[in-house]
Amino acid sequence: MLFSRDKITHVSKTKMTITPLSLKPEEEWSKVEDDLALGNNKALNALFNGVDKNIFRSINNCNVAKDA
């Protein structure tokens, strides 16, 4: 499964290689990265609270609001 934080490193006709990106500890985030994470969390919260339970079941595993 391809996640938004993964990097596609090689694609051929028969195979695609995916390399997971390493995550920085939250203490090392810049102000911009912290603001982006906060905005994403707020957007996910609004989405999760604004849909019925059938739609919620299909999007509750999303980590990025854009994917939901």
- How many C-beta neighbours within 10 Å does residue 44 have? 19
- Radius of gyration, alpha carbons of the chain: 15
Confidence (pTM) = 0.55
- pLDDT in the model for residue 9: 54
Q: What is the pLDDT of residues 2-26, one digit of tens each?
A: 445 555 555 566 665 666 667 788 8
Amino acid at 25: P
**Token pair in block for residue 61:** 């595993």
Domain range for 39: 24-68
The length of the chain in residues reads: 68
Higher pLDDT, 60 or 36: 36
| Domains held by the chain: number | 1
Task: Quote the distance between the C-alpha of residue 54 and its chain's center.
Answer: 21
